[in-house]
Chains A and B, each alone.
Chain A
Amino acid sequence: MHFWTKLNHKAIYLVVLLTLKLPLSYAQSQSAIQPATEQARGISYIWWSMFWVAVVVFVAVMLLLAWGLWRGKSKKPTKLSYLASRNLVIVAGIAVPLVTVICLVGGSLMLGRSLSASPPDNALEVRITGWMWWWQIEYLDENSNTIATTANELHVPINRPIQVYLESGDVIHSFWVPQLHGKTDLIPGRTNSSWFEVDVSGTFRGQCAEFCGLQHALMGFLVVSEPQAEFDAWLANQQAPAQPPENNEVLAGQRVFFEAGCHQCHTIRGTDAAGTAGPDLTHLASRQSIASVTRKNSRAHLGGWVADPNGIKPGAKMPMSQLDAKELSDLLDYLQSLH
């Protein structure tokens, strides 16, 4: 085919793709207008109301402008009289925007009040701490004591309010799961909070929304919503210490873990590893992903990450490891045994 024809075909394909894409592309994992909670539905409703009001306003202004210009093209151009001009400005420039804006502000303040109200008493409380560039997740009991710690994967029961307390360990981050709620910042020296109630089972992706340095772009996390019974089982497992090694490879892997110094930054409950600079690894193997949802939690990706974290996320604080193949393999056996 001739070059230009080829290019044309591509262009047409692209245009078709985009026109199809614009209204249909909501079937994604991080969309604000595919809500799964009462909170996100309210915001989505406000968005669509404002969207249609904006379309009407835009079309009306453009039509008025075009009409005025078209009057000038006619053979006998008629300019607006002073009175007509004045009325146009008063009605279209003051009265209509005033009424529209009062409705929009009123509606959004009413929704805002319900979003910022305290959650019902039976809320599950979770403390989330932002670190460069991962999320520490702690489940709290009634007395606000930590009962389980994990990272980058928040499990929640459905149909129960979830109260999240948001803190930061270093710079400002922002907690954002578009399908569940708008974002709230994590600011050093403050404890912010937000709450939502998921009504379907599913996995929702979230991401840091405030620029926080080198790997801001790859600071994701997952929210997994499940029925209360499944959640209870999951939480019970997370509360328990790690299982002791069952065979020699795993035992060798645990030795590598300590010899290589991994324990200085990571905690594995039930062992002597109690470092706090990196994520808690007690139940690492139960998570779906590693490196803040940058890679799937498979043996291959885990190996790549341990060998050279900066190859996947340049700037990550975890140093490159100096392990030979056998040591790495044993270590992976150990890490994968941490269910």
Chain B
Amino acid sequence: MKDHPHTEQAIFDDQEGAEPILDKTWLSPPGFFGWFTHVNQRQIGFRFVVTSLIFFALGGLLALLMRLQLVQPENTLMGAEFYHQIMTMHGTTMMFFFAVPAMEGLGIYLVPLMLGTRDMSFPRLNAFGYYVYLIAGITLYLALFLGMAPDTGWFSYVPLAGIDYSPGQGVSFWTTMITFIEISALTAAVELIVTILKQRAPGMTLNRMPIFVWSILVMSFMIVFAMPTVMVGSVLLALDRTFATQFFVASGGGDPLLWQHLFWFFGHPEVYIIVVPALGIVSTVISTFCQREVFGYTAVVLSMVTIGFVSFGLWVHHMFTTGLPHLGLSFFTAASAMIAIPSGVQIFCWIATLWGSKIKFKTPMLFIMGFFAVFVIGGLTGVMAASIPFDMQAHDSYFVVAHLHYVLIGGAVLPFFAGLYYWYPKMTGSMLSERLGCWSFWLIFIGLNLTFFPMHQLGLDGMPRRVYTYLHNMGWGEVNFFVTCAAFLMAFGFLLTFINTLISPYKSRAAGNNPWNADTLEWWAQSPPRNYNFRHLPVISSRTPLWQKAPLYKVTGIRADRREIIITTLLDAKPQGVCIMPSPTYWPFVLALTVGFGFLGFMFKPILFVVGFFLSFFAIVGWLWPARPWLAEKPPEEGHPVRGLQ
């Protein structure tokens, strides 16, 4: 192979005037067509966050439509079929297309910055994951606009979702797109794990890692163990529907409860997959606005790990009314109630941190304060629902609707919005308006309590969930009317934040590198960071690198003329070698298209899946085609072992 011109004279990033070279090396090609080639972690992470927020808005609109239908008894605004479609799409959107991608997006954007590295481990896989997510989301919404959306609820219980009772394409769209989007979640999880374990800046031992990164690590491991079950479940359901395999059909020797076990073995950890990163955000924001380290680093980290483990032993509490034996169920009661302890430890670690601190109540901190109230209520009703006898009344009633929204809005959405206000300056370079933020917070906080608190009462009054209407004489009319009004109040609060994010780049002041005087490494980079994240890679010697008095040491000897990052050891982050990251390419996009073709084709003609398989094979060959000019190089000098990693 001919020598690459770069190999003749290496340029290192610690040399004077290396910036233009770094810029050129890490460039994301501009232009419309360039957009499809990007692999830099910040671009991909930003896209995840923005796309998930768009799905959040769509899911919220669907919720408002549902509230309009329920505003009065026997309302005729929409038919049962359409209501069930938007109900299914609301749940599916919020769980699969908003919450998980939003948290992954924050992780993808922030983790490499917090670890002091220049990209994630598998940049192309990262881009592939994003396109898969985008294609899955667009397809499901196209189905909704064509009136072909799934209508069996976000947990698609069989046999209702089987071919006998749902012969249309709706459920096929659901099973296909759920399998498809979990590919995206799994790719993100794998990259995050490898990045966190192998790419920490030299000196960032595991016990110096920011708590947010710990939370993302726990989330990623949970994804790796939880998502495959829902993929298996939805593939089995697709096989039942397409080839009559009878996995879930009682008359054919299958069992409808098998679906519930598979679904909830994923479905319960899913809640914590969303909540754990949010807890990481809470720790981060509290630490910054108190200007002190979170009390009990080890306790907080171990609590998150504990939640991660225990959450895999709770799934049967979604099945307390299925007639399983009481003795077996009681283990799941105990495990569910046990979650109160790691949650309690974290809550009181935060209170100990806040105690007596001079706190700046900026918008992120307001959202965290809202989180405390709402999450504690959601947790308490969760402990109640862990009781088998009480759950027999509360299950599938509006009490559970109230509970799950308290947990997910309190435990995930409020911290996520805190994070949005907190990291927006880093992502865009400008601050969000505090005034709009304050209004937005109070409207959301008041709105959500007025919306969801009365639902506890509706549930105790016997209103089942997933009803498209209710009769006049049930006496649920007034409360439902009130709830609908409050839902619009809350929606208006969210709208203010959306407006804020859109106008702030034009109206507000520049953020500077570290507007909140935070301690983690992402604030050491420019706002917004350059494509190469850091001008120099740092060496870490404490848990709070930006608060320490000693200056940050810098790594030298990293080449600026190719995408080099440092690989370190798993526990102690001792430098191990240098890794060269791949450059922009179309192949991840092409592969996402061919895989998407295979999955969608399967719905209409199973043979198209085989066609998609071979198309994907060619795309993967293109992706892996050797393009490593440095392989022809002379053996590297001592101390600079070179490794290829695609």
Contacts and interface: CB of A to CB of B under 8 A. Distances in A.
Contacts of A18: 454, 478-479, 482
Nearest to B466: A211
Interface stretch (B176-184, B267-275, B468-476): B468-476
B601 interface: no
B296 interface: yes
Nearest to B345: A93
Contacts of A12: none
Interface string A23-51: 00110111111000000101100110011
A69 B384 contact: no
A215 B396 CA distance: 16
B393 interface: yes
Main secondary structure of the interface of B (DSSP, over half): helix
Contact of A207 (B373, B376, B462): B462
Contacts of B333: 105, 108-109, 112
B644 interface: no
A175 B388 CA distance: 16
Given A94-B344, A104-B383, A207-B464, A112 B388 contact: yes
A80 B255 CA distance: 56
A236 interface: no
10 contacts: A32-B397, A32-B460, A54-B383, A105-B387, A184-B323, A187-B322, A188-B159, A209-B321, A209-B396, A213-B152
A192 interface: yes
Contacts of B352: 68, 80, 84-85, 88-89
A100 B384 CA distance: 12
B552 interface: no
Given A115-B326, A189-B251, A190-B257, 10 more contacts: A32-B462, A54-B384, A61-B351, A101-B337, A108-B333, A111-B389, A112-B330, A172-B159, A187-B322, A216-B466
Contacts of A184: 321, 323, 392
Those 6 A-B pairs whose CB atoms lie nearest each other, nearest first: A182-B392, A189-B250, A30-B462, A108-B387, A192-B323, A217-B467
A215 B80 contact: yes
A237 B572 CA distance: 83
Contact of B341 (A98, A105, A211): A98
B241 to A, nearest CB: 15
A210 B396 contact: yes
A29 B475 CA distance: 9
Given A68-B354, A174-B396, A209-B464, A22 B81 contact: no
Nearest to B323: A192
Contacts of A270: none
B372 A178 contact: no
Contact of B344 (A14, A31, A97): A97
Contacts of B251: 188-189
Interface string B62-100: 000000000000000001110010000000000000000
Interface in B138-179: 152-153, 157, 159-160, 165
A58 to B, nearest CB: 6
Interface stretch (B48-56, B108-116, B197-205, B355-363): B355-363
Nearest to B303: A93
A65 B392 CA distance: 34
Contacts of A113: 326
Nearest to A181: B392
A320 interface: no
Given A112-B326, A174-B396, A188-B250, A42 B355 contact: no
B465 to A, nearest CB: 8
A182 B391 contact: yes
Interface in A283-302: 294
B492 to A, nearest CB: 16
A265 interface: no
Contact of A93 (B348, B376, B454): B348
Given A47-B384, A58-B376, A214-B80, A178 B393 contact: yes
Contacts of A339: none
B341 A176 contact: no
A69 B354 contact: yes
Contacts of A166: 323
Contact of B355 (A17, A68, A190, A214): A68
B623 interface: no
Interface in B225-275: 250-251, 255-257
A223 interface: no
Given A64-B351, A72-B357, A213-B165, A89 B299 contact: yes
Nearest to A191: B323
A171 B347 CA distance: 43
Contact of A187 (B257, B299, B386): B257
B474 to A, nearest CB: 7
A43 B356 contact: no
B542 interface: no
Nearest to B385: A50
A218 interface: yes
A170 interface: yes
Contacts of B321: 174, 182-185, 209
Interface in A76-106: 77-80, 84-86, 88-89, 92-94, 96-98, 100-101, 104-105
Nearest to B330: A109
Interface of B: 79-81, 84, 152-153, 157, 159-160, 165, 250-251, 255-257, 292, 295-296, 299, 321-323, 325-326, 329-330, 333-334, 337-338, 340-341, 344-349, 351-359, 372-373, 376-377, 380-381, 383-384, 386-397, 454, 457, 459-471, 473-475, 478-479, 482
A171 B392 contact: no
A25 B477 CA distance: 12
A21 interface: yes
Given A176-B464, A211-B160, A105 B356 contact: no
Chain A contact-residue range equals 35 or more
B627 to A, nearest CB: 52
Contact of A31 (B152, B338, B462, B482): B462
Contacts of B473: 29
Contacts of B340: 97, 100-101
A183 B392 contact: yes
A54 B380 contact: yes
Contacts of B152: 211, 213
A26 B457 CA distance: 10
Contact of B356 (A68, A94, A205, A220): A68
A57 interface: yes
A61 B565 CA distance: 46
A42 B389 contact: yes
A181 B392 CA distance: 8
A262 interface: no
Contacts of A65: 351, 354, 372
Nearest to B469: A217
A222 interface: no
Contacts of A174: 321, 396
B478 A17 contact: yes
A277 to B, nearest CB: 15
**Best-surrounded residue of A29, A109, A111, A181 (most CB of chain B within 10 A):** A109
A29 B470 CA distance: 13
B359 A72 contact: yes
A50 B347 contact: no
Contacts of A212: 160
Contacts of A78: 356
B356 A79 contact: yes
B45 to A, nearest CB: 32
B377 A58 contact: yes
A155 B153 CA distance: 33
Given A64-B351, A174-B396, A182-B391, A189 B482 contact: no
A62 B296 CA distance: 20
Contact of A85 (B81, B157, B296): B296
A244 to B, nearest CB: 36
A31 B348 contact: no
A314 B383 CA distance: 39
A170 B165 contact: yes
